[in-house]
Structure 1
Amino acid sequence: MRKIEISTSVTVFSNVSELPVDDKILMGKAVDARKNAYAPYSKFNVGAALLLDNGEIVLGSNQENAAYPSGMCAERVAIWKAGSTFPGVKIKKLAITASSTIAKVDKPVGPCGACRQTLSEFEINQKSPFDVIFMGEVGEVVKTASLLSLLPFSFDSSYL
């Protein structure tokens, strides 16, 4: 038997104004995308912005429906749009932000497990990491240099 330690390194900014200019612009796009969320059930609005290697920015927002679990998260909306519109173009950065119509979201909101799994496949397939930057509506912003650092022991096609 052996024991291993797993750690993740992130950079925490006290607020969005501390971000480097390019990250601040991308987060601004995610905030704009958040305004297009359709979340009448959860009241939790999420926006995502992907910066691609070709300079394009692809947006996504969460979309719910009355068959509540069959809605879609902002991150997966954005990444599948990027994959279908710009196949084979690498992802450089992902910005995510969340707000609620019933409470102030004042801590960083990272991608859910399903989104982490989906995003990890894109990072693995492109053979290079991409930054993930996430925040709530206000407050601290977290930045990590790789999606896979948020998903240790990830499952991928090599197991199939």
Structure 2
Amino acid sequence: MSKPAIPREVYLQPGDLHFAGAGTRIRTLLGSCVSLVFWHPRHRLGGMCHYMLPTRGQPSTRLDGRYGDEAMLMLLEAIHARGTRPAEYQLRIFGGGNMFPNLRSKAHRHVGQQNVDMAHQMIAKHGLVNHGQHVGGTGHRHLIFDIWSGQLALKHSAHLSGSGRQTGVHSA
């Protein structure tokens, strides 16, 4: 499908998620946070979340997109509400950067790595397939997802030692 004349632009803040049809573009900016991106190539449906922490660690009656395990459940609910099955979607993972690489702790993994680990755990738990990822490292990622085509654009600004930064543009 070609680009809509006027696509609907959605910007995800931390804790947000959005699931929509072909006329939508979703953007976000990730540091240690992680985005799960689902795309259905035949129906041109898709969704993205932007979670901050792997889990809240205590049960709640209401799902919250700030937590990876709950954001995954919210996206799966949206998929089922559209009459589709999660296995029909291409799923990709982005983010999980180490935003403070100079603060090293041998006892704990940084929150970005914990977020990536949760994404992998949830994918395995729900029997899904990871079709690609751009995770870890340092710095932040600007991610754009065009649901009409499934095209993902990624700009990664990685921290280098010292004050310089390296920027790369990738297409997923």
Scaled to the shorter chain, the TM-score interval is: 0.3 to 0.5
TM-score (norm 2): 0.38
Report the structure, 1 or 2, having the larger helix content. 1
TM-score (norm 1): 0.40
